């Protein structure tokens, strides 16, 4: 939880410090890169770290991630211009890319199937608290101390997280002579970088139909196709192609992508809607959205009991249906809505997410053994990041079509949020379809092994 907090807080803490940073080191035009480059570095490195954790064990990878995050934080804190700040945000993102999948994989290693949903609920709670604490800390440091302490505060947090993992987390790994797939790693990370960069910047830095957009997206697709061919002959592929041939893993991953799209759609536009249309301050807007991330851990902590009775698929179907109900309620929002309505609708969506995301991830983890769990977990989380990137692009295009250049017009923004709510509802419908396509199986048994062998979904093996 402490390691996850590093990643979660730094995803939001910088948002309220924009004026202070620009006033000190300049670079307002380049400032959006501080957000996108961090998310980009994190997303493209997740699959690689997932494989490395299977080869070398979880502990060295998560400690490496914390060390990188610490180095990036120190560099950001002493940055003398915006480009140095951007460079060390890349380092931070690469560290976050190691921490995120490895901590979730560790949960799959040491907890039973029954316990995992509850513990993942704790991690979801970290994100919920960070969504409120992050911007608040950013504002406090910027106004009363210095924006540089936004990054320096990570030093004791990194030290505490690393110390606790060194002292408390123990594993036995038969490393043998692991083979690293360098060619696949370069092709995968470069191709994903170009693809996600094209999606994030399309319609922003360049038009979708511009030569730059076509070149970036086209090069990314070509490199990923080359990666697919290269992996066929790799001894230890960085991302084994069997991940995309197993029905459970494919549809649980696509469900995760839907989760990412809905999360980014809400976090990108709900606070702006609450401030501009409903006329509140940023703090109230933040709390309205926080109900989404506070509802998630509430039901995630209970989802273990639900899927023990109904199976992973049955639990996730209930959750996806609740998410659909919540996104449909967003269609009721208008210029005369209240903040309480917004918070209530986001809470419904969060409650649904807590019954959808943990069961699909636990189902994927439970279908493989220890040596494949890192890859499977990382692939699931990567697809969530990819869904977030696609969500930013699609919902951004919808908002731009409605709002144009007048972002302060309440009527246009309300109409844009209504259109985005339609898009979110369609994504929720697709999530139900994806969950329905997951293979059926027996209900998981209480006390199922924390390190099961490969098997069908919903049939974990008891401890010997």
* In a shared domain, residues 264 and 135: no
* In a shared domain, residues 205 and 229: yes
* In a shared domain, residues 328 and 395: yes
Continuous H helices in 202-246? 211-232
Rounded Cα–Cα distance for residues 96 and 69 (Å): 7
The answer to whether position 52 is within a domain reads: yes
**Residue 408 near residue 276 (C-beta atoms within 8 A):** yes
The answer to whether position 464 is within a domain reads: no
Rounded (5°) CA angle 63-67-70: 140
Compute, in degrees rounded to 10, the torsion defined by CA atoms 194, 196, 198, 200.
-150
**Residue 221 near residue 195 (C-beta atoms within 8 A):** yes
The answer to whether position 257 is within a domain reads: yes
The answer to whether position 232 is within a domain reads: yes
**Residue 114 near residue 446 (C-beta atoms within 8 A):** yes
The answer to whether position 48 is within a domain reads: yes
The residue assigned the tokens 């609740």 is 322
For residue 188, report the phi and psi dihedrals to the nearest 5 degrees: -65, -50
Rounded Cα–Cα distance for residues 353 and 358 (Å): 8
* In a shared domain, residues 226 and 291: no
The answer to whether position 60 is within a domain reads: yes
* In a shared domain, residues 26 and 162: yes
Query: How many structural domains does the chain have?
Result: 3
Q: What are the tokens at 219? A: 């090069």
* In a shared domain, residues 231 and 128: no
* In a shared domain, residues 19 and 30: yes
Rounded (5°) CA angle 243-265-417: 150
If one counts every other C-beta atom within 10 angstroms of the C-beta of residue 397, the result is 15
Q: Which domain holds residue 438?
A: 240-459
* In a shared domain, residues 191 and 143: no
* In a shared domain, residues 222 and 247: no
406 three-class SS: coil
DSSP string, 266-319: HHHHHHHHHHHTT---HHHHHHHHHHHHHHHHHHHHHHHHHHHHHHHHHHHHHH
The answer to whether position 177 is within a domain reads: no
- Say which CATH number the domain at 265 has: 1.20.1250.20
The answer to whether position 62 is within a domain reads: yes
Q: What is the pLDDT along the chain (464 residues), one digit of tens a residue?
A: 888 888 888 776 776 666 677 777 776 666 667 777 887 888 888 888 888 888 888 899 999 999 999 999 999 988 888 888 888 989 998 999 899 889 888 888 888 877 877 787 777 777 767 766 776 777 777 778 788 888 888 899 899 999 999 998 888 776 666 677 788 888 888 888 888 788 777 766 677 778 888 888 899 899 888 988 887 776 677 777 788 888 888 999 999 999 988 987 887 778 778 877 888 776 677 677 777 777 887 888 788 888 888 888 999 999 999 999 999 999 998 888 888 888 899 999 999 998 998 888 888 888 888 778 888 888 888 888 888 877 777 777 777 777 765 556 778 888 888 888 999 999 999 999 999 998 875 455 555 444 443 333 433 333 33
* In a shared domain, residues 115 and 260: no
* In a shared domain, residues 404 and 274: yes
């Amino acid at each position: 939880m402490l390691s996850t907090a590093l990643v979660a807080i730094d995803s939001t803490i910088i948002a309220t410090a924009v004026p202070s940073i620009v006033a000190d080191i300049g670079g307002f035009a380049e400032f959006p890169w501080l957000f996108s480059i961090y998310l980009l570095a994190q997303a493209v490195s997740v699959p690689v770290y997932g494989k490395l954790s299977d080869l070398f064990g979880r502990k060295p990878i998560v400690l490496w991630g914390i060390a990188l995050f610490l180095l990036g934080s120190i560099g950001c804190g002493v940055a003398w211009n915006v480009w140095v700040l951007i460079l060390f945000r890349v380092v931070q993102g690469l560290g976050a890319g190691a921490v995120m999948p490895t901590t979730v994989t560790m949960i799959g290693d040491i907890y039973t199937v029954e316990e995992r949903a509850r513990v993942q609920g704790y991690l979801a709670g970290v994100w919920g608290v960070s969504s409120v604490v992050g911007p608040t800390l950013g504002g406090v440091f910027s106004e009363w101390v210095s924006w540089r302490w936004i990054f320096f505060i990570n030093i004791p947090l990194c030290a505490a997280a690393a110390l606790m993992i060194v002292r408390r987390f123990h594993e036995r790994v038969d490393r043998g002579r692991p083979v690293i797939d360098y060619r696949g790693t370069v092709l995968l990370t470069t191709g994903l970088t170009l693809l996600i960069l094209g999606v994030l910047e399309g319609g922003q830095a360049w038009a979708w139909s511009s030569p730059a957009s076509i070149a970036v997206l086209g090069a990314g697709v070509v490199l990923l196709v080359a990666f697919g061919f290269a992996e066929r002959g790799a001894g230890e592929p960085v991302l084994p192609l069997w991940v995309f041939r197993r029905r459970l893993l494919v549809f649980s991953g696509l469900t995760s992508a839907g989760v990412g799209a809905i999360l980014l759609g809400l976090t990108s536009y709900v606070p702006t809607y609450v401030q501009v249309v409903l006329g509140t301050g940023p703090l109230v807007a933040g709390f309205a959205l926080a109900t989404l991330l506070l509802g998630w851990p509430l039901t995630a902590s209970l989802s273990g009991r639900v899927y023990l009775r109904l199976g992973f698929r049955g639990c996730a179907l209930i959750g996806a249906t609740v998410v659909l109900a919540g996104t449909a309620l967003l269609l009721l929002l208008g210029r005369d809505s209240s903040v309480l309505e917004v918070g209530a609708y986001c809470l419904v969506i969060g409650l649904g997410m807590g019954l959808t995301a943990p069961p699909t991830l636990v189902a994927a983890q439970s279908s493989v053994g220890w040596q494949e769990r890192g890859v499977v977990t990382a692939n699931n989380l990567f697809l969530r990041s990819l869904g977030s990137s696609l969500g930013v692009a699609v919902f951004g295009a919808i908002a731009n079509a409605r709002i144009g250049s007048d972002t302060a017009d309440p009527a246009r923004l309300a109409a844009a949020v209504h259109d985005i709510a339609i898009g979110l509802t369609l994504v929720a419908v697709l999530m139900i379809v994806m969950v329905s396509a997951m293979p059926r199986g027996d209900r998981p048994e209480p006390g199922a092994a924390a390190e099961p062998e490969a098997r069908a979904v919903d049939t974990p093996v008891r401890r010997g």
